[in-house]
């Protein structure tokens, strides 16, 4: 792969139907498209590794295309839980962070959907420098393939909770989901994928129609409009009550439980009253609350609540029959936990 030549087209991100056009233009038979797609889905970085393609065909591909698997700028591994955070660089110099996590049910990767973010959530490191550009479907897939190549381990779950707002890059996100799910490629079950949004309502409506089997998580982080407006500017465009309404619609239309991510911030949204208000909003429908004791980001002015506050909040939700867990924090010692990813 020649990463220095930005004139080459990135072939990663084409599905088999699109690759039919590629191979046909190069004078090859259509069945070569599926062969090519399978190699790309394995994370192969060099056309010469594609042993069942003729040398002539491989040379033609090299003249016009590259495989943009990003290079690893740094690879940090947690000393406490084995989490790995990687800074990946694509051939245009754009950089994103991705995180590999090990759980009892399998390996998971948290990938980025954009280079930067324009949502402006005040507790999150990822939005500090604003939005540079959105990632392509192929660049999202490339993070999974690069991490699998690096770790040598299968990745069984994908969460789109890294840098960026997936619904601010909907078409490329949708393309990625189709690519990684394709039976002739990576073949990852939709039920093993979670997409997180800060509450872009048009995206949620489209998502429930296009991908009803993919898990949806809402970054909520507040029990009401007033508190959410202070920390999440998206609320000024898509109000709290409107968000709750579309979430109820999602649960009804898809029959799927919806997850609400709630970062507990000391003295801001973690009081007994906050917990009771949240319980009142969620009681009686298919929801799950994922409580996240804030992973502190320097310069935000926010602090992590103490253990007693976290357990009190959890207990109040449970007493009101709201399903809740306290997220196990992974990678905090390498700034790889929720809200800590940023551009470098």
Options 66, 86, 97, 110, the catalytic residue = 97
Tokens of 154: 């299968």
338 is catalytic: yes
Do residues 179 and 137 touch, judged by C-beta distance below 8 A?
A: yes
Q: How far is CA 308 from the centre of its chain?
A: 30
Closest CA to 251 of 300, 299, 202, 284: 284
Closest CA to 269 of 318, 234, 219: 219
Options 45, 124, 198, 338, the catalytic residue = 338
Do residues 339 and 297 touch, judged by C-beta distance below 8 A?
A: yes
Cα gap 151→44, rounded to integer Å = 15
Q: Pairing state of beta strands 71-77 and 131-134?
A: unpaired
Cα gap 293→266, rounded to integer Å = 9
Do residues 247 and 258 touch, judged by C-beta distance below 8 A?
A: yes
97 is catalytic: yes
Do residues 141 and 150 touch, judged by C-beta distance below 8 A?
A: no
Instruction: Classify 337 as helix, strand or coil.
Output: coil
* Radius of gyration, CA atoms only, the chain: 21
Each residue of 113-133: b (16+ CB within 10 Å) or e? bbbbbebbbebbbbbeeebbe
Tokens of 158: 């994908």
Q: Which residues are part of the catalytic machinery? A: 97, 338
């Amino acid at each position: 792969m020649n990463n220095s030549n930005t004139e080459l087209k990135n072939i990663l991100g084409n599905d088999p139907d699109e690759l039919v056009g590629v191979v046909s233009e190069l004078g090859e038979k259509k069945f070569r498209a599926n062969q090519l797609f399978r190699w790309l889905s394995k994370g192969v970085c060099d056309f010469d590794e594609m042993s069942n393609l003729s040398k002539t065909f491989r040379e033609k591909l090299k003249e016009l295309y590259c495989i943009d698997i990003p290079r690893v700028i740094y690879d940090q591994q947690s000393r406490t839980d084995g989490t790995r955070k990687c800074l990946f660089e694509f051939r245009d110099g754009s950089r994103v962070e991705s995180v590999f996590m090990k759980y009892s049910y399998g390996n998971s990767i948290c990938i980025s959907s954009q280079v930067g973010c324009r949502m402006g959530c005040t507790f999150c490191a990822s939005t500090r420098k604003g939005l540079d550009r959105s990632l392509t479907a192929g660049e999202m897939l490339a993070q999974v393939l690069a991490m699998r190549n690096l770790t040598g381990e299968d990745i069984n779950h994908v969460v789109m909770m890294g840098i960026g707002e997936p619904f601010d890059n909907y078409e490329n996100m949708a393309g990625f989901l189709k690519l990684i799910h394709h039976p002739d490629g990576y073949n990852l079950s939709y039920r093993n994928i979670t997409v997180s949004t800060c509450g872009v309502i048009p995206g949620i409506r489209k998502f429930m129609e296009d991908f009803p089997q993919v898990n949806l998580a809402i970054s909520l982080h507040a029990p009401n409009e007033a508190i959410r407006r202070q920390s999440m500017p998206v609320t000024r465009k898509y109000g709290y009550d409107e968000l709750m309404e579309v979430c109820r619609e999602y649960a009804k239309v898809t029959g799927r439980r919806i997850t609400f991510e709630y970062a507990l911030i000391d003295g801001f949204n973690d009081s007994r009253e906050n917990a009771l208000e949240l319980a009142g909003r969620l009681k009686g429908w298919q929801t799950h609350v994922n409580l996240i004791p804030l992973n502190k980001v320097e310069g935000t002015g926010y602090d992590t609540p103490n253990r007693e506050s976290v357990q009190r909040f959890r207990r109040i939700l449970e007493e009101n029959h709201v399903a809740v867990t306290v997220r196990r924090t992974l990678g905090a010692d390498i700034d790889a936990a929720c809200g800590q990813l940023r551009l470098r």
